[in-house]
Every structure is written in structure tokens, then in C-alpha cells.
Amino acid sequence: MQIDVVTLFPEMFQSPFSIGIFKRAIEHELISINLHNIRDYAHDKHRTVDDYPYGGGAGMVLKPEPIFEAVESIKSDIPQKQGGGVLPVILLTPQGRPFSQQVAMELAKYSHLVLICGHYEGVDERVREYLATDEISIGDYVLSGGELAAMVVVDAVVRLLPGVLGSEVSSANDSHTHGLLEYPQYTRPAVYRGWSVPEVLLSGNHAQIARWRSEQAIRRTMERRPELLDKANLYSEEVQLVDRLK
């Protein structure tokens, strides 16, 4: 997957993308991440990227020209033979559709993504209307820019790509993949400061362990995020368990 990020602060991405799963995925050529500084596409010698809002009001608005030209430059580098479907051009904005594991799985199907990080009080509306194909928000709170949101989206998407995680099961078992929170995990020592690991996990009885984990995941989801249960994809035994626990 090729990921192009259009941002005012490319240096913010350097450290996160140079460690952990990103480092490995880039080294193994599973992903390539290109950072594009919006300022490089400014038209004047002061490299102006923002301006006062028409109609007045506080704050500045990101100008359309540098953003359009940055994305057009990315598009012009795509080999024509690839053609294929539409290239997702995603604007990160608090007004976008809510990001979720479902959306991450949807984006993981593409071979190329373009992410535009918004800033200041906003982005000229023509960017949303005529350049972006999608708008995403990572939650109901306001960040000073789309950069952290873009990193969240890239992390959630990249870890779903085949070969990025150690084993294929690692992301299949995650919280939210089936719509439930994850069950508790333990490792050695079996007793730490007098706190014991649940006995069933030491039993070697795999069917019993699977049943315990399923019950824990359901209990935890009921306690913490009951609204997730309505949307969850449950097996019939799990549905019965939910009814029993209710």
C-alpha cells in the first residue's frame, strides 16, 4: 500500500513511522509512506498557506491552491496503467465520518491512500467539495491539526495489511474486530504479589479456556460498552451467554 500524507508538519510523522510495525512494514516494502509539505506548494515567496476567512471571524483558513496542487502532483506520479478504481483522498477533520475498525478494514482494501491533514480554523470548503473523496474524524474532540488523526488512521489500517503483524491471527483477535472488547490476558508469573492468574488458563483445557475467554469478552463489553453488543457479530453460544448474564 502506498500512503501519501499532505501536511503542514511532515516532521511530526518522522518518529512514529520510523519505529515498530511501520519500520518493519516499510523495510519489507509492504507499505511506502510519502510526506508532502503543503508549504512546498505555496505560490508566493513567503510560502503562504493560509488566509483570513471571507465574511470575517476568528482564525485562519487553509488556502485551496497549495492543497489541490499537492494532491495533483501525487496523482500525476501514479503510473497510468494502474488505472483501477478511485483513489481515496481523505480529509482528516472533526466534521468527518467517525473512524472505526470497520472503516479501517474498508481502507485496508485499497492499494493507495491520500490523507490531507487540516489545520487552523479550517480548510477552504472547495477542498472538501472538489478534491476530497472522503472525510474522517477520529472522535468527538478537537485536535489542533489532522496529523495525529492521520497517524491513528494509518496505524489502524497498516496493521491490518497481510504480513505486517507477526502472525495473521494477531489482528483477527483484536478488540472490536468481532465487535466485542478483548478478554483479559496474563503471562508469567502465575502468582505476582499474591495475585493469581485465573486457574482455567493453567488447566490446558482448550475448550474450557475458549469458553472462559468468550464469557470474559462478553462480560467486559456488557459492563463497559453495552452499546457495542447490539452491533456485535455473535455466535449462538455467545447470544445465549449474553441473555444469561443479563
- CB 196, CB 185: distance < 8 Å: no
Pick the piece of the chain touching ligand 6GU (CB under 6 A) from 103-111, 135-143, 224-232, 234-242: 135-143
Pick the piece of the chain touching ligand 6GU (CB under 6 A) from 39-47, 132-140, 161-169, 192-200: 132-140
Pick the piece of the chain touching ligand 6GU (CB under 6 A) from 140-148, 191-199, 206-214, 227-235: 140-148
Strand order in the sheet with 32-37: 32-37, 2-7, 112-117, 89-98, 134-137
Stretch (H or E) spanning 73: helix 64-76
d(CA 106, CA 136): 13
Identity (one letter) of the amino acid at 89?
V
Minimum CB distance to ligand 6GU smaller for 152 or for 222: 152
Minimum CB distance to ligand 6GU smaller for 70 or for 232: 70
Choosing from 66, 146, 157, 159, the residue that interacts with ligand 6GU (CB under 6 A) is: 146
Catalytic-labelled residue, pool 65, 155, 174, 215: 174
d(CA 163, CA 25): 8
7 binds ligand 6GU (CB under 6 A): no
CB of 242 to ligand 6GU, least distance (A): 31
Catalytic-labelled residue, pool 66, 134, 135, 159: 159
Grid cell locating 90: 481523505
Whether 94 is a known active-site residue: answer: yes
Minimum CB distance to ligand 6GU smaller for 139 or for 163: 139
- Residues 149-188, one symbol each (x = binds ligand 6GU by CB under 6 A, - = not), give x---------------------------------------
Is residue 16 classed exposed, middle or buried when 0-12, 13-18 and 19+ CB atoms within 10 A define those classes?
A: middle
Minimum CB distance to ligand 6GU smaller for 26 or for 152: 152
Helix, strand or coil for residue 137?
Answer: strand
Give start and end residues of each alpha helix (H) in 94-205. Answer: 101-107, 125-130, 147-158, 169-172
| Residues whose CB is less than 8 angstroms from the CB of residue 208 and which lie 6 or more positions away in sequence, other chains included | 200
CB of 122 to ligand 6GU, least distance (A): 9
Q: Which 73-92 positions form the footprint of ligand 6GU (CB under 6 A)?
A: 92
Identity (one letter) of the amino acid at 107?
L
Binding residues for ligand 6GU (CB under 6 A): 92-94, 96, 118, 136-139, 141-143, 145-146, 149
Q: Report the catalytic residues.
A: 94, 121, 159, 174
